[in-house]
Amino acid sequence: MLEEMENTLTDMIESGSSAPDLFTFNSITGGLWEQWAARQDGKIKVLEFMEERLFSPSIVTRNLIIETFGKADDIETMEENLSKTKHLGIKTNTITYCSLVSVYSKTGHIMKVDSIPRQVENSDIVLDTPLFNCVIRAYG
C-alpha cells in the first residue's frame, strides 16, 4: 500500500494539474503513518516533503503524529513531538490532550494523567467536557 500511495502522490505532482495540499499531507500522515513505523526515515520524509513545498504541518497533522507514537507505545517520542509542536508555535487543542490521556492510561503511565488538566489550565485552551470525559475514563 505504501508504494501505491507514493506512486499516486508522484502522479499527482507530475500531472501539473493537481498540487498536493494540507488535506493530502494529512491523509498521507494519518492513513499510512503506522505502515511507516517500520521505516524510520518515512516519518521524517513526510514532514520534510511538506516543509519543502511550504506546507506547515497543522495541529491535525501533529495530533496524528502524537497519537501514532502513543499507539506504538513510544512515549518518549510522543512527548518529544508534543514539545516540538509547542516549540513550533502550533497551538495544541483538547484533542491533543485527550490523545495523551488515552495513551498514558493504556500504557500504565496513569500518574502522568494528573498533570494534563494543569497543563491545559496553564494554556489558553478551555477545559471542555470531552477532555474531562477522557480523564474520567482513564481513571475508570
- Same domain for 53 and 113? no
- Same domain for 97 and 129? yes
Please give the residue range of the domain that contains residue 140. Answer: 59-140
pTM: 0.72
- pLDDT tens, residue by residue, 86-102: 998 999 999 999 999 99
Q: What is the pLDDT of residue 8?
A: 82
Domains of the chain: total: 2
- Poorest-confidence range of 19-23, 39-43, 54-58, 123-127? 39-43
Exposure string for 96-116, b = 16+ CB within 10 A, e = fewer: bbbbbbbbbbeeeeeebbeeb
- Same domain for 23 and 87? no
Which of these, 70, 95, 72, lies nearest to 81 by C-alpha position? Answer: 70
